[in-house]
Structure 1
C-alpha cells in the first residue's frame, strides 16, 4: 500500500510526475502531456487554498497588531494613572464618611463635657449661722473679723479648683466644629487602625488628641489615661503613634515622660 502524501506539493513532485507518466498508457494527444492535466488541476486548487490561508493570516496579523496597539495604550494609561493618582481607601459599609462625621461630633461633645467645670460644693455656712443665732452674746466686732477670714479661706479653696486642668471654659459651637475638623485631620494622617479599622481605638485616639490640645504645657501618660475606658497601655500606644507622626513631642520632666501637642507639620 502506497504511503499517503500529507502535503499538496508532494502529490505533484518530480517523482510523482514520473510515476504518473510511466503508469499512464500511450497518449493520443499531440504533445503527449495530457497526463499532467489532473495533476495541475489539483495543484491549482491547492495553490488557491494556500493563497486564501495566507490572506487570512494577513488579516489575523492586522487584527493582532490593532489589539497590541490598543492593549499597549491601556497599559500605558494604567502606568500613568498609578504615577499621578493617589487612590484613597474605599469606604466600607460600616465605616463611612457619615459615621466619621458622627464620631467627630461625639468627640467634640465629649471634649466639651470634660471641659465643663464641676459644680463646687457650697461651704457649710448653715452651721455657723445656727451657732451665731444660739449665742447672741458674741461680740459684733468678732463676727466682722471672722467674715474676712472666711472669705480668704473660701477664695483659697476655690482658687485651686479654677486652676485644675479638667476645669476649662466651655467651647462655643464654632469652636467645637473647628476642634472636630482639627481632630479629623490628625486622625487621617495616622495608620489605618486609628482611622476606622478599630472604632474603639479611634475614639480613644480622638479623646487623647483633644486632651493634648487643651494642655499647652503637656500631659503625662497618667493624665491621658482614663480607666477603665482608656487604660494606660492604650494611652501609651496612642501617644507613641502621635509622636511617630510628629504631631506630638515627647520630653522628660521630673523623671517622667511629658507629651506636648505640636500639631500637623
Structure 2
C-alpha cells in the first residue's frame, strides 16, 4: 500500500493587480498571451468610467437644484425684508393725519370759493366810491367826538409783554445739568464726541432746549438758532438722539414733535 501524499498548503494566487503575472499564472493556463489580457480590463474600465460619468451628472443636477433653491429662498428673504420696511414703517400716516388732511382740504376749498365770490363781485362806480368815502369820514368824526365827550375811563394802550427767558440755575443745578448733558453726549456716536467743538456745542444746545421743554413736544423749528445751529444741524442732532432712544418722535397730531426721555437705563 503506497504511502499517503502529505498535505501541503496550496500556493496563493498572484495579486489581482498584476495583469502580467495573472496572464502568466499557472492557475489560468487558458489566459491570453501578449496584449490579449487587456481586453477584459479595458471593458471593466469603460464600465467604471460610465458609472463615474453618471455620478458626475447627478452631482451637477444636485448643484443646479441647490442653486435654484438658494435663489428662491434669497428672493423670499428679500421680499420679507422689504415688507417689514414698508408695512411696519413707523412714519406711516395715522387716522388723525387723514382727518387733518381732510379738514385742510375743506378749508382750502372754502377759501377758494370766497375768493371766487369776491372776484366775481361788480366793482363800484366812481360816484359810489366817493359817497362811501364821505360817509365813512363823517361816521369816523362822530365816533371820535362821542368817545371824547363820553365820561368814563379812556381805553388803555396795548402793553407789550416780554417773553420770559430761561430760568436762572444755581451753581449746583448748573453742575447737575452739565453732568447730565455730558452723560447724554457720551451715548451718542463718535462724531459728536470727537474734536469738533462746533458740533459738540450744537448737540449740547439741542439737549438743553429739550430738557427745558418740561415734557411738552418741541418742534424742529423751535430748536433752530442761526447762524451756527441751522436746520440741517438740528436735524442731524435729533436723528442721533432718536436713534439712541433719548428723544421720541411723535407725529400723531399731524405735526412732528420731539419729546425728551433721557438716557435709557
Sort the TM-score into its range (normalised by shorter chain). 0.3 to 0.5
TM-score by length of 2: 0.40
